[in-house]
Amino acid sequence: MPEIRNMTMNFGPQHPAAHGVLRLVLEMDGEVIERADPHIGLLHRATEKLAESKPYNQSIGYMDRLDYVSMMCNEHAYVLAIEKLLGITPPVRARYIRVMFDEITRVLNHLMWLGAHGLDIGAMSMFLYCFREREDLMDCYEAVSGTRMHATYYRPGGVYRDLPAEMPRYQETSNRSRAEVKKLNEKRQGSLLDFIAAFVERFPGCIDEYETLLTDNRIWKQRTVGIGVVPPERAIELGFTGPMLRGSGVEWDLRRKQPYEVYDQLDFAIPVGVNGDCYDRYLVRVEEMRQSTAIISQCVDWLRDNPGPVIIDDHKLVPPQRETMKDDMESLIHHFKLFTEGYCVPEGEVYAAVEHPKGEFGIYLVSDGANKPYRLKVRAPGFVHLSSLDEMVQGHMLADVVAMIGTQDIVFGEIDR
């Protein structure tokens, strides 16, 4: 009789279903997985160390590049940490804008997740539908910050600038005819808020479309129901947060439990799962998109009625208006000091966490009173979730690994940092 041995298989780092640069070493007994050893760090850029060498504001852009599909939420945790140490509170309009963009980001993230997760386990068309809607939300990013992804829009003390009164429009070019441009610009006649309001009205219908394709789909359910079950107690022990924890039936959401910004004044529900499997986590995330839409809509209404400042009026922290720099010595000095040296944050330490689309995204900031962080630690939800992959996949088939990676909503920017 021949000797039977377990087979060790390498998965990734160049694998389309690895969601980036995950290398998995799988120990297989036939097609059943006995042990999974994720090798991470292939995208390690030492963001935390880089932040130690730069003034506070220069690291906001690095935050976008952590979880590069939910950019503004990363920034949010970082600026919250700085604000807590400085003891400042942004104006209420800035807080509404932040909440609105956090939720836009959540929808962006969940759309990316749904598309990629669907693609991984056989629902090819989901990817196309999800990316269609993502396009509009990216346009919102572009309208406020000038970039479609890495916005660097949040600042300690508020947001960089107010919402534009006009949505940017397409221009006629040699390869884009007038009729085409007119059609593209139909949705862009009003302000950014009008554009978002139109999206919010349309989007629940889109979610219904996704659900028609997936929720009762036999193949989808065969791939996700009963796969990767995590009991609630175990989920807490492993450090799960966000939809991974709520999918197991634990009602825990920082927006509700430890509200920041204006979440305590908004009306929304926290969906939870029952079985803690991939299917329940799918349902939780889809419902979260609906809830986010409701939050965005409430923010749009409030922002329409309440104009006001969007960043604190303190030029020790926030650069003065460019016009005033031309004839006001004080403004010129403030501007010069801010952009050459930055501001010093008082000595102390703080942990600020936000309910990121993937879970609890925390920033632990230690300051020794300098103009640069002494130590910055990013608590990335994906890092914790991926560490449990070994436990989740044991006893499952090889094909389920892909479902598991998908359900964890892994992005390597934040895991490797």
In the complex, the smallest distance separating the C-beta of residue 318 from another protein, rounded to whole angstroms, is 13
Binding track, positions 210-249, relative to another protein; x by CB under 8 A: ------------------------x-xxxxxx--------
Amino acid making up residue 18: A
Binding track, positions 296-335, relative to another protein; x by CB under 8 A: --------------------x-------------------
The answer to the question of residue 27 lying near another protein (CB under 8 A) is: no
Nearer to another protein, 187 or 377 (CB): 377
Nearer to another protein, 118 or 382 (CB): 382
The answer to the question of residue 13 lying near another protein (CB under 8 A) is: no
* 79 closest CA partner among 100, 68, 94: 94
* 248 closest CA partner among 414, 69, 408, 412: 408
Binding track, positions 57-76, relative to another protein; x by CB under 8 A: -x------------------
The answer to the question of residue 259 lying near another protein (CB under 8 A) is: no
The answer to the question of residue 257 lying near another protein (CB under 8 A) is: yes
- The tokens describing 125, both together, are 């068309």
* 220 closest CA partner among 121, 350, 353: 121
3-class DSSP state for residue 24? strand
Q: Residue 118 half-sphere exposure, CB side, CA atoms within 13 Å?
A: 22
The answer to the question of residue 369 lying near another protein (CB under 8 A) is: yes
With b for 16 or more beta-carbon neighbours within 10 A and e for fewer, the 349-378 pattern comes to: ebebbbbbbbbbbbbbbebeeeebbeebeb
Nearer to another protein, 84 or 150 (CB): 84
Nearer to another protein, 201 or 391 (CB): 391
In the complex, the smallest distance separating the C-beta of residue 362 from another protein, rounded to whole angstroms, is 6
Work out which of 364, 402, 406, 412 binds another protein, going by CB under 8 A.
364
Q: Are 100 and 115 in contact (CB under 8 A)?
A: no
Binding track, positions 387-416, relative to another protein; x by CB under 8 A: xx---------------------------x
* 199 closest CA partner among 259, 143, 281: 143
Nearer to another protein, 116 or 392 (CB): 392
* 116 closest CA partner among 108, 127, 107, 106: 127
Quick one: which segment of 3-11, 37-45, 214-222, 283-291 binds another protein (CB under 8 A)?
37-45
Is the torsion defined by CA of 255, 259, 260, 265 positive or negative?
positive
Span between the terminal Cα atoms of the chain, in Å: 49
3-class DSSP state for residue 168? coil
3-class DSSP state for residue 352? strand
The answer to the question of residue 88 lying near another protein (CB under 8 A) is: yes
Nearer to another protein, 237 or 301 (CB): 237
DSSP β-bridge partners for residue 374: none
The answer to the question of residue 384 lying near another protein (CB under 8 A) is: yes
* 57 closest CA partner among 318, 314, 260: 318
The answer to the question of residue 345 lying near another protein (CB under 8 A) is: yes
The answer to the question of residue 91 lying near another protein (CB under 8 A) is: no
Binding track, positions 122-161, relative to another protein; x by CB under 8 A: ----------------------------------------
By rule CB under 8 A, what count of residues binds another protein?
62
Which pairing describes strands 154-155 and 375-379: parallel, antiparallel, or unpaired?
Answer: unpaired
The answer to the question of residue 264 lying near another protein (CB under 8 A) is: no
- The tokens describing 284, both together, are 């939780």
Work out which of 372, 392, 412, 414 binds another protein, going by CB under 8 A.
372
For residues 380 and 242, give the distance between their C-alpha atoms in angstroms, rounded to a whole number.
Answer: 11
Q: Are 102 and 140 in contact (CB under 8 A)?
A: no
Work out which of 1, 87, 186, 323 binds another protein, going by CB under 8 A.
87
Q: Are 372 and 53 in contact (CB under 8 A)?
A: yes
Beta strands in 116-229 (DSSP E): 154-155, 158-159
Residues found near another protein in the complex (CB under 8 A):
40-41, 44, 46, 48-50, 53-55, 58, 84-88, 234, 236-241, 250, 252, 257-258, 316, 340-351, 353, 360, 362, 364, 366-372, 374-375, 377, 379, 383-384, 386-388, 416-417
